[in-house]
Amino acid sequence: MQRMTLSIKDGLTEEELYLFNTGSSYHSYRFMGAHLKKQDGVEGVRFAVWAPHAASVSVVGDFNGWNGGEHVMSPFGNTGVHHLFIPHLREGELYKYELRTRKGETLVKSDPYAFYSERRPGTASIVADVLDYDWDDGVWQEHKASSPPYSSPLLIYEVHAGSWKIKGKEYFYTYEELAAELVPYAAEMGYTHIELMPLAEHPLDQSWGYQITGFYSPTSRYGTPRQLKKLVESCHRHNIGVILDWVPGHFCKDSHGLRLFDGEPLFESKVPGLAELPLWGTTAFDFSILEVVSFLISNAVFWMDVYHIDGLRVDAVANMLNLHMDKPQHLLTYNKLGGKENMDALAFLKKLNETVFHYYPNTLMLAEDSSAWPAVTSPTYLGGLGFNFKWNMGWMNDSLRYMELEPDQRPHHHHLITFSLCYAFSENYVLPLSHDEVVHGKRSLLNKMPGTYEEKFHQLRLFYGYWISHPGKKLLFMGGEWGQFDEWKDGDQLDWMVLQYKSHTSMREYVSALNSAYRNTPSLWERDAEPEGFEWVDVHNAEHAIISFIRRGLSSSSLVVANFSRRACTNYRVGVPETGIYRTVLNSDDSVFGGCCEDGLESFVSEDIPWHGRDQSICLNLPPFTFILLTI
């Protein structure tokens, strides 16, 4: 094989661009976009943009009166990349690319690789140096490197930065202010991770960040790139990991963005059936274009490299894999075998995960996937997609449907609360109670619960106990920890004022205690992905809407009993795995949490009374809507 000659132009090399053109550049942000450079002893900015169909490309900005004739870029061979060094430019300069199309049209576009952007409604890119930062999170990085996520507690607090707390309408907390308030709060509550809904630049607040124009640009709504690094650093110094919602499936159609970037389809397919996503009003990435693969995989690596993000929750995996999902008949397309599977997206996701884990072995790669696609969390060398966790949407749908039933109807739908164990170990799961379940008329988790006001709190505590003890890692959307009563309002802050009421403060105390119990009870997380980590005690008691099961760790076990009925069950006998004293770790009916039990932490000595197929048993009193966690 002939060795490639290295030709340097403004810091770009043939080798780098060869990798970019062949879908194998995983750090393309290091040479694409706007970079502060020194050339021939003069400081300035080197620009590089991929626009293979453009007749010409210029850099425009305040520095040249937005005149496209001033700074025309040069093409780099046949790579499709245009480049230019402009002396004396500094950090903070506003700029865009002016492109002349083959049809003679003039387009003005933001930089796909912009590291910072004007606050909406402005759409200019901003020169920013984000590659230079003196991180102070070495202790966290060492901890992460020695803590495989499968056998560690994972308790995620999902946050929308624009509505956790605000100072006024569209007067947001900065990243640094969130570091000062959000991070200590999450640490005090006992969460292991904060998941931030998409932070890449987006024009519309109501999209929550899922319709993006600047994939490399943290939104300026909340401050500067440096302030975002301060937020991540603060999380790490509080022993909290950071997960970012990441959206590689599509982009919005705003004229300054990626759509028809150089006058022709570039990031998207030329085939309307592949490009159009009418349900969302967005455009899908074309994963068969190798430069798009470089762009997206580099973006995933960018967030981990530049911002020290600890994981990505990959949005809408099912939509990426299914060519027909949410599309009308006239937009249906098929793969070369006549099927509806998007083979290019499949290859992309495998390559994405292989690359991420090559550079960052203990990163969290979570698939938000509502499909039944097999082996999502299996390694690619075994035919899987290569994620290490998948959201368990089936558990979420069934369990919430069950909890919304009137209690006297639950015995007739017992399978909704037990069926998930038929497949709980087919993937490595996260049990999500996310923002999607508390918006658009779905009601808050508290308000989904039937019955009186007091019963709603009893049942939510019960449900949280079932959630925390069920196999799988955990995710809870902000406000759920203290029983937000109204559904989420993205244009306002959470209803913090309800914490003046005892019922809500007691709920927060309960969730804090539940989080602590989870983290301090290894049997609840050590063997999440192993069938040996779970064993039913009583799965068939539909009549009384009671379930009981054992969670087994590497060296300890727990017993869980949950009464989903409105009726108390006195002297309820339950079989136990071994002889000994069973100590109550948590009782959701404890009076300190708003319940009626004055001795919520009592212990029980096993008796030589066979029950549930076991030699030993204990006898409990189960108030209505009660969850009890015991350890031996």
Over residues 450-466, the pLDDT tens digits come to 999 999 999 999 999 99
Q: Categorize the per-residue pLDDT at 351 as very low, low, confident or very high, splitting at 50, 70 and 90.
A: very high
Give the model's pLDDT for residue 598.
85
Hey, what's the torsion of the CAs at 36, 38, 39, 41, to 10 degrees?
160
Those residues whose C-beta lies under 8 Å from the C-beta of residue 498, and which sit 6 or more positions away, are 482, 483, 484, 485, 504
Give the model's pLDDT for residue 8.
47
Domain annotation covers residue 451: no
Q: Would the pLDDT of 88 be above 50?
A: yes
Q: Would the pLDDT of 284 be above 60?
A: yes
Q: What is the CATH number of the domain that holds 95?
A: 2.60.40.10
Domain annotation covers residue 400: no
Q: Known catalytic residue: 315?
A: yes
* Domain termination site, one of 101, 126, 151: 126
- Cβ neighbourhood burial of 352 (10 Å; 0-12, 13-18, 19+): buried
pTM, 2 dp: 0.96
The arithmetic mean of pLDDT across residues 99-104, rounded, is: 96
Structural domain harbouring 574: 531-631
Domain annotation covers residue 90: yes
Portion of the chain with pLDDT greater than 90, in percent: 96
Q: What is the CATH number of the domain that holds 604?
A: 2.60.40.1180
Give the model's pLDDT for residue 575.
97
Domain annotation covers residue 176: no
* Domain termination site, one of 126, 158, 185: 126
Q: What is the pLDDT of residues 217-255, one digit of tens each?
A: 999 999 999 999 999 999 999 999 999 999 999 999 999
Give the model's pLDDT for residue 11.
64
Which of these is catalytic: 93, 368, 487, 589?
368
* Domain termination site, one of 126, 154, 179: 126
Instruction: Give residue 180's Cα distance to chain centre.
Output: 22
Q: Known catalytic residue: 538?
A: no
The arithmetic mean of pLDDT across residues 245-269, rounded, is: 98
Beta carbons within 10 angstroms of residue 374's beta carbon? 11
Q: Rounded CA gap, 96 and 61, in Å?
A: 6
Domain annotation covers residue 476: no
Q: Rounded CA gap, 588 and 225, in Å?
A: 42
Domain annotation covers residue 621: yes
Q: Where are the strands (E) in 225-354, listed by range?
A: 241-246, 250-251, 276-277, 282-284, 311-314
With tokens 């592949």, the residue in question is 274
Q: Would the pLDDT of 187 be above 90?
A: yes
Which of these is catalytic: 98, 158, 201, 315?
315
Domain annotation covers residue 204: no
Portion of the chain with pLDDT greater than 70, in percent: 98
Domain annotation covers residue 450: no
CA distance readout (Å), 265 to 125, 258, 268, 546, 583: 22, 9, 5, 57, 64
Output the average pLDDT for the chain: 96
Give the model's pLDDT for residue 10.
57
The arithmetic mean of pLDDT across residues 559-586, rounded, is: 96
Number of structural domains found in the chain: 2
Q: What is the pLDDT of residues 420-432, one digit of tens each?
A: 999 999 999 999 9
